[in-house]
Amino acid sequence: MKPAAEVIYFDNAATSWPKPPGVAAAMTDFLERVGANPGRSGHRLSIAAARIVFRTREQIAALFNLPDPTRVIFGANVTEALNLALHGLLKPGDHVITSGMEHNSVMRPLRALERRGVELTVVPCAGDGSLDAAQVAAAIRPHTVLVVLNHASNVCGTILPVAEVGEIVRARGLLLLVDAAQTAGALPIDMQAEKIDLLAFTGHKSLYGPTGTGGLALGERVDIRRLDSLKQGGTGSRSEREEQPEFLPDKYECGTPNVTGLAGLSAALDWLQERGVASLRAHEMALCERLLNGLQDIPGVTVYGPRAASRQTATVSFNLAGLQPSEVGLRLDEEFGILCRVGLHCAPAAHRTLGTFPTGTVRFGLGAFNTPEQVEAALRAVAALARGH
Amino acid sequence: MEEYAVILVYSTTHALRIEKLLGERGLECKLIPVPRHLSSDCGICVRLRRADLEAARAVIEQAGIEHEGMYPL
């Protein structure tokens, strides 16, 4: 195996790597010097652990322009957050609208809820994955309660018109849930300006924290009496009662949290704030534009999605004529040290929209630590495979 | 001897929010385990000088943070 320094890591859409300096150190520091259970005991180390969790909550709230940090609910990952929102809000007889570009972390809970009497409309997207907000408006029925959209496709990066849909959703008195798995940290997100009521995020992709972190941010329009908890258990609060507390964040956070992970996420958020989401976006857009142009210049390469850096995240899907994605992925890894993800990317609906189901695509997911030289090396590698070498 | 009071809160998160707000306004406080005679809870509460209690109450209510009660120690 090549040493880490020699690989070209183009799988940031799955999880970002490497992590910023300070992330591993913050996790080690927690384990070696703090280590206690937050919110349970009243001693100094328990309070020190609680401070780490609270500071991370404040950082997330600030990042998404949410005034009240107690409305940030931490969980294991974005999938858990989406399950909390969907299972917590939707009841039999309710109608929910989603797009034709969703990941299975949205589609599978929705299909499960459909079997329990929730009505589902999937608004189709164009061949490049884009969504016409007017079609969402047209799908609204009297019993619609929620619109759920991914902010950007995990397959080809297409950015959906979240703010435009937010406007429509709010005018009709519904709620908007956004799956920000691919965008939290990669694009500026302002929950108030974009009228996002629930934002599901992951800590380990463009927030550059460790795996096992993520959560759900609740805007002020979300009435927590209407959002059921997914799990019940110990919270360190109201211990005399056998019912789950009704206040935030304890209603939705039970069991000992991943403080080690949150310590790492907090350090990553410090780094993110220092670098700035806008400047990281500019860096990724420049890499993405070169990658898109370079790929399209190679005979036999088909690129999917908007093919415009301004309309997508730095995630690019393509295929090579005459080669299976799995073969391309294996050869990129073994012959060129380029690590990417091939196949269906847990998003069969999105691949149907793009016309790449069931074969899938080769996906390059760029991130903050990729360089122009790596993009050039990857383009040379793809060109060599396309020539049949 | 200094006289203290405690603010009982619903969760550690609220205690940390209150601690931050009071600190920003120069009202000294400390997070301590909830005294057993006040609650069966296993969490923490905010201890402050009894003389600062009314000022703290105003800050907390203005910020809209719910609390379980304020008690002299």
How close A240 gets to chain B, by Cα (Å)? 6
Q: What is the DSSP letter of A370?
A: -
Q: Which of B34, B42, B66 sits opposite A40 (nearest CB)?
A: B42
Q: Would you call B13 and A245 a contact, using CB atoms and an 8 Å cutoff?
A: no
Q: Would you call A47 and B44 a contact, using CB atoms and an 8 Å cutoff?
A: yes
Q: Which of B31, B40, B44 sits opposite A240 (nearest CB)?
A: B40
Enumerate the residues of chain A whose CB falls inside 8 A of the CB of residue B63.
none
Enumerate the residues of chain B whose CB falls inside 8 A of the CB of residue A57.
13
Among left, alpha and beta (phi > 0; psi -120 to 50; other), residue A250 is alpha
ipTM: 0.86
Enter the tokens of residue A251.
Answer: 């209603």
- In this predicted structure, the answer to whether residue A325 has a pLDDT above a threshold of 80 is yes
Residue written as token pair 């990724």: A284
pLDDT one-digit tens code per residue, A243-255? 999 899 999 999 9
Q: What is the DSSP letter of B34?
A: P
**In the structure, what pLDDT confidence band is assigned to residue A6 with cuts at 50, 70 and 90?**
confident
Enter the tokens of residue A379.
Answer: 């383009």
Helix and strand counts by DSSP (H, E) for chain B: 2, 4
- In this predicted structure, the answer to whether residue A2 has a pLDDT above a threshold of 50 is no
Encode B52-69: b = buried (16+ Cβ within 10 Å), e = exposed: bbeebeebbeeeebebbe
pLDDT one-digit tens code per residue, A183-211? 999 999 999 999 999 999 999 999 999 99
**Mutation to test the B interface, candidates A46, A54, A72, A220, most B Cβ within 10 Å:** A54
Q: Which secondary structure element, helix H or strand E, spans residue A346, and what is its range? A: none
Enumerate the residues of chain A whose CB falls inside 8 A of the CB of residue B10.
237-238, 245, 247, 250
Is A200 within 8 Å of A85 (Cβ atoms)? yes
What was the pLDDT predicted at B40? 65
pLDDT beneath 50: ranges in chain B: none
pLDDT one-digit tens code per residue, A110-157? 999 999 999 999 999 999 999 999 999 999 999 999 999 999 999 999
Helix and strand counts by DSSP (H, E) for chain A: 11, 13
**Residue A193 burial (10 A CB sphere; 0-12, 13-18, 19+):** exposed
The β-bridge partners of A120 are A96
Q: Of A317, A285, A315, which Cα lies nearest the Cα of A301? A: A317
Instruction: Find the angle CA(A186)-CA(A188)-CA(A190) to the nearest 5 degrees.
Output: 140
The β-bridge partners of A199 are A178, A217
Q: Which of B16, B32, B42 sits opposite A50 (nearest CB)?
A: B16
Is A307 within 8 Å of A292 (Cβ atoms)? yes
**Residue A77 burial (10 A CB sphere; 0-12, 13-18, 19+):** buried
* Residue A299 CB neighbour total at 10 angstroms: 9
The percentage of chain A sitting over the pLDDT mark of 90, rounded to a whole number, equals 94
- In this predicted structure, the answer to whether residue A295 has a pLDDT above a threshold of 90 is yes
pLDDT one-digit tens code per residue, A13-49? 999 999 999 999 999 999 999 999 998 778 999 999 9
Q: Does domain A4-19+276-386 have CATH number 3.90.1150.10?
A: yes
Instruction: Find how far residue A10's CA is from the centre of its chain.
Output: 16
Q: What is the DSSP letter of A71?
A: G
- In this predicted structure, the answer to whether residue A360 has a pLDDT above a threshold of 60 is yes
Cis before A306 (ω within 30)? no
Q: Would you call B43 and A43 a contact, using CB atoms and an 8 Å cutoff?
A: no
Q: What is the DSSP letter of A31?
A: I
**Residue A204 burial (10 A CB sphere; 0-12, 13-18, 19+):** buried
How close B63 gets to chain A, by Cα (Å)? 10
Average pLDDT value for residue range A270-296: 98
- In this predicted structure, the answer to whether residue A321 has a pLDDT above a threshold of 90 is yes
User: What is the rounded average pLDDT for all residues in chain A?
Assistant: 96
Cβ contacts of residue A243 below 8 Å, gap of 6+? none
- In this predicted structure, the answer to whether residue A1 has a pLDDT above a threshold of 70 is no
Is A34 within 8 Å of A48 (Cβ atoms)? yes
Average pLDDT value for residue range A297-323: 98
Is A174 within 8 Å of A221 (Cβ atoms)? no
Q: What is the CATH code of the structural domain delimited by B4-72?
A: 3.30.70.260
Q: What is the CATH code of the structural domain delimited by A23-274?
A: 3.40.640.10
Domain extents for chain B? 4-72
Domain extents for chain A? 4-19+276-386, 23-274
